[in-house]
Amino acid sequence: MENLHELLVNRRSIRRYTTQEVNADDVRLILEAALMAPTSKSSRPWQFIVVDDKEMLERLSQCKPAGAAPIAKAAFAVVVAVDPTLTDPWVEDGSIAAAYMQLQAADLGIGSCWIQVRGRFMADGITPAEEHIQELLQMPDTLPVLCVMTFGYKDEERRPCDTSKLLWEKVHIGTWKDVE
């Protein structure tokens, strides 16, 4: 286990996975991370659908024409859905849970990638990507899908973050002002 800073430096989105399966204990730890994530007023408005069936993963990857290919080759994916009737910051609540899963996965040496679903459309440009997912997974059509998180052992090397290139100009100390 790395320390948290090293883990943050080394975590990169991984979109290519080996065929090695992730053992059930590690899948469980990743979901535990999601379930421990903070939520506004502790509303815990999320639902997580774990998918490891290869054919289903392939079909889910067709939810949008670009940027969803990693789903097809993932060892497993977690569909993150959030009920907006339970809390107004539902996007934030779902996002934090998704990020927690990525960090837990990274700590286990498992690669991951966020695949955006909210606000995205299928190849026809009209059908919301989430409709495809809701239908395939027999979900309520009233439950928005935020993203699909893909997980698997890395089949690509990514360079760690270059901390010398961090955008410190985005940080303002005390008041809004440009960094000299």
Ligand X SMILES: Cc1cc2nc3c(=O)[nH]c(=O)nc-3n(C[C@H](O)[C@H](O)[C@H](O)COP(=O)(O)O)c2cc1C
The binder of ligand X chosen from 67, 96, 153, 155 (CB under 6 A): 67
**Binders of ligand X in range 149-178 (CB under 6 A):** 158
- 39 vs 61 by CB, closer to ligand X: 61
Sign of CA dihedral 50, 56, 60, 65: positive
**Binders of ligand X in range 19-48 (CB under 6 A):** none
Q: How far is the CB of 148 from ligand X (least distance, A)?
A: 8
65 belongs to the binding site for ligand X (CB under 6 A)? no
CA dihedral 99, 115, 86, 51 (to 10 degrees): -90
Distance of alpha carbon 45 from its chain centroid, rounded? Answer: 16
Q: How far is the CB of 103 from ligand X (least distance, A)?
A: 12
- 124 vs 176 by CB, closer to ligand X: 124
115 belongs to the binding site for ligand X (CB under 6 A)? yes
Instruction: Quote the tokens at residue 85.
Output: 């009737």
Please provide the DSSP assignment of 149-166 as one string: EEEE-BSS--PPP-GGG-
114 belongs to the binding site for ligand X (CB under 6 A)? yes
Stretch that binds ligand X, among 17-25, 42-50, 111-119, 171-179 (CB under 6 A): 111-119
Instruction: Quote the tokens at residue 29.
Output: 């730890």
Q: How far is the CB of 38 from ligand X (least distance, A)?
A: 18
12 belongs to the binding site for ligand X (CB under 6 A)? yes
* Cα distance between residue 71 and residue 59, in whole Å: 9
**Binders of ligand X in range 70-99 (CB under 6 A):** 70
CA dihedral 67, 70, 71, 77 (to 10 degrees): -120
Burial (CB count within 10 angstroms: exposed 0-12, middle 13-18, buried 19+), residue 152: buried
Binding region for ligand X (CB under 6 A): 12-13, 15, 67, 70, 113-116, 158
